[in-house]
Chains A and B, each alone.
Chain A
């Protein structure tokens, strides 16, 4: 019952007029940003972060804004995936597989409303999961010492590499680059300057906002440059606009299943919405067997990834709130935002800042209702926004990015650094390195080094403290499992392929 009390307290925070207004605004902006091809939740959150500061929002309001944007992006990504066959963000790649064929069959309206509904079901399931499990985990996480934290972060990085599977070395490398970028600046324990090259501007490290905006906005602008010539034609959202009861019943089981699966995947630190949507799509396809028309416009193929990616977006808030370890690239940005407010996410957050935590959780539920209410009638308006030409969009993104970076320190050096990082990010993207791993590494970097050194101070340099407690042993085991999984899968695939060859 304690949880229920806290939840009521959270609703109290979330229904304050400013917070409701901010949630509404965030949901709208999030949907638009998620819809625009190429711009994902990380960009949305990164662009609004300076705004939240400039407005002097209190931390809970700022967090509600960012969470609304995050959820809104997951809703918005599907619009361009269905109408244009261009996923608005990485997580909605799977949505386009079945969504676009449906739109071509003249069922765009049904596809859009049904996917909004499955997004709603998915996030509601996951939010209930957050309410149930987050306080439990927070209580348990108080037992984490520095050594356990260090191993936990290694596990987070292994989740990135192991789950993505097809390019583990590149993912590892990207995470290492992020960790390395975080070492720039003055060392907090000894005061030694590291990798500053004598520059005063680098002495307190590379600012978080500069890294995020550089890597995501600037490199996105460069990537968009290549796609300017391919004009896309949006499918008109016509026909029946709302799904009927039969279609809803047909897909309801899929939504619930995928929502649950998405939630579980989302709670793993490091594994995000993209993986959740891909995995649920595959398993639904396998379960439907020959009766499904997956890839040609199966309603279940639309509902599964949408429910899963929204559920995992909410689920990824669990490791962020309870452990202070981000569950996805976007929550990594949110942790950065919280640290800017001098709030360190972690197990104590539930005791020290209940307003922030429960206000956020309650606002997730409210934000979901807002998004559902906004998305079904306003689809026409949103799809019109898809026709904003790039020659207006790109300069606007650039100018807002510049303002965001300039607002931190007001130096030209930061602007140039941002562009440098953007070019570097562009090269890495062209070479197929996952950028979200870099952000995750960058956020974890300082925490990881601090915890490692604190652990070794406790044990007076004895390395065995890193695997002496049961929690850390368990985490090492999970890490090994995650790293071993791609190899195991490959081995099994080879073994099943051999009889076919023979």
Chain B
């Protein structure tokens, strides 16, 4: 059932992308193939595979579990928030917060999660930014460092 749903939506996506891909045209022909043929070939093959799955989906043992899906959604939202706040808040604070929330989601207790989150933010920052020279955003701390 879910495979069918996926195949159907993928087929739709293929169609949209094909319309888009039709517009790829080089102003001057550099090679006999051009930029359009290969994506269109892939899309055609993908559409054929989706059609196959639409007609003959294999059996899936997975059942939809609303509770698990809810938790997965929470997890995705946390990750998204982490990504969006990464530069705004800076690595240390964003990591501490995200590690705390993720820890709670993974059935950790309140205090240990808070401690591990803080430690992770500080330790990973010093490991990557100071030791390994990977530049990480300072965010809110920037004011302190500048002055």
Interface, chain A (partner B; CB < 8 A) = 50-51, 54-56, 167, 169-170, 172-173, 176-177, 179-180, 183, 187, 189-192, 194-195, 218, 221-222, 224-226, 228-229, 389-392, 394-396, 398-400, 402-403, 406-407, 410, 412, 415-416, 418-419, 422-423, 426-427, 430-432, 449, 452-453, 456-457, 460-461
B140 at the interface (CB under 8 A from A): no
Since A190-B31, A415-B82 are in contact, a sample of 10 more A-B pairs with Cβ atoms closer than 8 Å, ordered by chain A residue number, is A172-B49, A183-B42, A189-B30, A221-B79, A391-B102, A395-B120, A399-B99, A403-B136, A423-B76, A453-B31
* Cα–Cα, bound, A457→B75 (Å): 49
B105 sits at the interface (CB 8 A): yes
CB distance from B118 to the nearest CB of A (A): 11
- The one of B39, B98, B132 in contact with A398, judged by C-beta atoms closer than 8 angstroms, is B98
Determine if A173 and B46 form an interchain contact, defined as CB atoms under 8 angstroms apart: yes
Residue from A187, A406, A449 in contact with B86 in the complex, judged by beta carbons closer than 8 Å: A406
Contact A179 B42 (CB under 8 A): yes
**A222 touches which one: B28, B76, B84, B128 (CB < 8 A)?**
B76
Q: Across the interface, do B134 and A426 meet the contact criterion of CB distance under 8 Å? A: no
Contact B58 A432 (CB under 8 A): yes
List residues of chain B with CB within 8 A of the CB of A169.
49, 52-53
B16 CB, nearest partner CB in chain A, Å:
11
B50 to chain A minimum Cβ distance, whole angstroms, is 7
Given contacts A187-B35, A221-B75, contact A170 B112 (CB under 8 A): no
Please measure, in the bound complex, the distance between the C-alpha atom of A82 and the C-alpha atom of B38, giving whole angstroms.
Answer: 47
Q: Which residue of A lies closest to B33 (CB)?
A: A453
Shortest 5 CB-CB contacts between residues of A and residues of B: A391-B108, A395-B99, A461-B32, A415-B83, A190-B26
Q: When the two chains form their complex, are residues A407 and B134 in contact, meaning their CB atoms are under 8 A apart?
A: yes
Contact yes or no, A460 B32, CB < 8 A: yes
From the candidates B105, B121, B132, B135, name the one contacting A51 in the complex (CB within 8 A): B132
Are B102 and A398 in contact, with the CB atoms below 8 A? yes
Q: In angstroms, how far is the closest chain A Cβ from the Cβ of B35? A: 4
Contact with A along B45-56 (1 / 0, CB 8 A): 110011011000
B interface: dominant SS: helix
Chain A residues with CB under 8 A of B71: 225-226
B8 neighbours in A (Cβ, 8 Å)? none
Chain B's closest residue to A462 (CB) is: B32
A194 to B22, CA, bound (A): 10
Flag if A189 contacts B80 (CB, 8 Å).
no
* Cross-interface CB contact of B106 among A170, A225, A431, cutoff 8 Å: A225
Scan residues 40-89 of chain B and give those whose CB is less than 8 A from a CB of chain A. Answer: 42-43, 45-46, 49-50, 52-53, 58, 60, 62, 68, 71-72, 75-76, 79-80, 82-84, 86-87
The docked-state distance in angstroms from the alpha carbon of A192 to that of B25 is: 7
**B31 and A395 contact, CB distance less than 8 A:** no
Residues of B within 8 A of A177 (CB): 46
Residue from the set A398, A418, A423 with the largest chain B CB neighbour count within 10 Å = A398
- B117: chain A residues at CB < 8 Å are 395
Smallest beta-carbon distance B39→chain A, Å: 5
Our count of residue pairs bridging A and B at CB distance below 8 angstroms stands at 183
The answer to whether B33 touches A406 (Cβ under 8 A) is no
Residues in A with CB closer than 8 Å to B62 are: 430
* Contact partner, B72, options A190, A194, A222, Cβ 8 Å: A222
Contact A456 to B33, CB < 8 A, known contacts A170-B53, A176-B49, A430-B62: yes
The reply to whether A390 and B53 contact each other, CB–CB distance below 8 Å, is no
Given A50-B134, A190-B26, does the pair A419, B35 have CB atoms closer than 8 Å?
Answer: no
Question: For A452, what are the chain B residues with a Cβ–Cβ distance below 8 Å?
Answer: 33, 38
**Complex interface: chain B residues within 8 A of A179 (CB):** 42
- Interchain CB contact under 8 A, A431 and B2: yes
B126 within 8 A of A: no
Minimum CB–CB distance from A186 to chain B (whole Å) comes to 9
Contact with A along B102-115 (1 / 0, CB 8 A): 11111110001100
Q: Residue A432 contacts which of B60, B75, B76, B106 (CB distance < 8 angstroms)? A: B60
Once A406-B86, A419-B76, A456-B33 are accepted as A-B contacts, the answer to whether A427 and B6 lie under 8 Å apart by CB is: yes
Pull 30 A–B residue pairs with CB atoms less than 8 Å apart, ordered by A: A169-B49, A172-B45, A172-B49, A176-B45, A176-B46, A176-B49, A177-B46, A189-B30, A194-B39, A195-B21, A225-B72, A225-B105, A225-B106, A226-B68, A390-B107, A391-B103, A392-B103, A394-B102, A394-B106, A396-B120, A398-B102, A399-B95, A402-B83, A403-B136, A430-B62, A432-B60, A453-B31, A456-B31, A457-B32, A461-B33
Which residues does chain A contribute within 8 Å of B38, judged by CB atoms? 183, 449, 452-453
Q: Nearest chain B CB to A320's CB is how many angstroms away?
A: 24
Write the nearest CB–CB distance from A455 to chain B, whole angstroms: 9
The digit string for B126-146, where 1 denotes a CB below 8 A from any CB of A, is: 001000111111000000000
Q: Evaluate whether A228 and B106 lie within 8 angstroms (CB atoms) in the complex, with A221-B75, A399-B98 already known.
A: yes
In the complex, which residues of chain B have a beta carbon less than 8 angstroms from the beta carbon of A56?
Answer: 133
A336 and B69 CA atoms in complex are apart in Å by 33
**Contacting B133 at CB < 8 Å: which of A54, A170, A410?**
A54
- Say whether B12 faces chain A, with CB atoms less than 8 Å apart: no
Chain A residues in 8 Å Cβ range of B34: 190
A419 to B76 alpha-carbon distance, docked (Å): 8
Chain A residue numbers with a CB within 8 Å of B6 are: 427, 431
